[in-house]
Amino acid sequence: MTSRCGSEYKSKFSSILAQGGSQVVGETLIRFLDKVCEHVQNIKSNLDFKKIEEFISALENARCIFVMGAGRSGFVAKAFAMRLMHLGYNVYVVGETVTPRIKPEDLLIAISGSGETLSVVNISRRAKEDIGSKLVAITQRPESTLAKMSDIVIVLKGKDKYERNHELSKLAPLGTLFELTALIFLDGLVAEIMNLKQLTEEDLAERHAVLE
């Protein structure tokens, strides 16, 4: 049985195509890509390089690195954890069954656009206040609960998932812009660390999984 929801969307899309010419398929996609490029350029122009240096130093000095995020930010966290592993760091994803206990000499990286996601805030508070671990927040809200408790705050300003911007919401709903820019920023950070450590793609490939 076709779901009613899916069937309604398919019918609406077919109707638009049948009308011929009221809207060209692909226009919204191009507008979305233009908006992402504009957003990344804005992030690039407002980077705090002192904070980035502190972030890299925290990575270097940590015994182990723990990363976390909720929802799509969690996928970004896992992607970053994978690259940190490729770079040679001892890294774990919070919530995985093989993740060990965090200790005071460890680093927790928490990714949350709003900085108010309950699970992320609660786990971060426990690591920071109860354990004494160092905490890095990657967020778009420097005034958030997560940012205020963190040792280092990387601000990536984007559309807050609670922000009401009708036009932008039609292109990039909820936390889309933050999640994309967080991924791009963290991949850029990987490139920076590769350069600092004089690592090559071949060096990273040696640590890449073969049991796939």
The string of pLDDT tens digits covering residues 172-200 is: 667 778 898 999 999 999 999 999 999 88
- Mean pLDDT by runs of 10 across the 212 residues of the chain is 55 59 73 83 88 96 96 94 94 94 97 94 96 96 96 82 63 76 94 92 83 72
Q: Exactly one of 179, 192, 202, 206 is catalytic; which is it?
A: 179
Question: CA of 48: how far to CAs of 4, 28, 83, 140, in Å?
Answer: 48, 32, 22, 13
Distance CA 113, CA 141 (A): 7
* pLDDT given at position 43: 85
* pLDDT given at position 4: 57
The CATH number of domain 48-205 is 3.40.50.10490: yes
* pLDDT given at position 1: 46
Domain residue spans of the chain: 48-205
Q: Which residue in 62, 51, 149, 143 sits closest to 106, CA to CA?
A: 62
Distance CA 61, CA 92 (A): 16
Please confirm, yes or no, whether 179 is among the known catalytic residues: yes
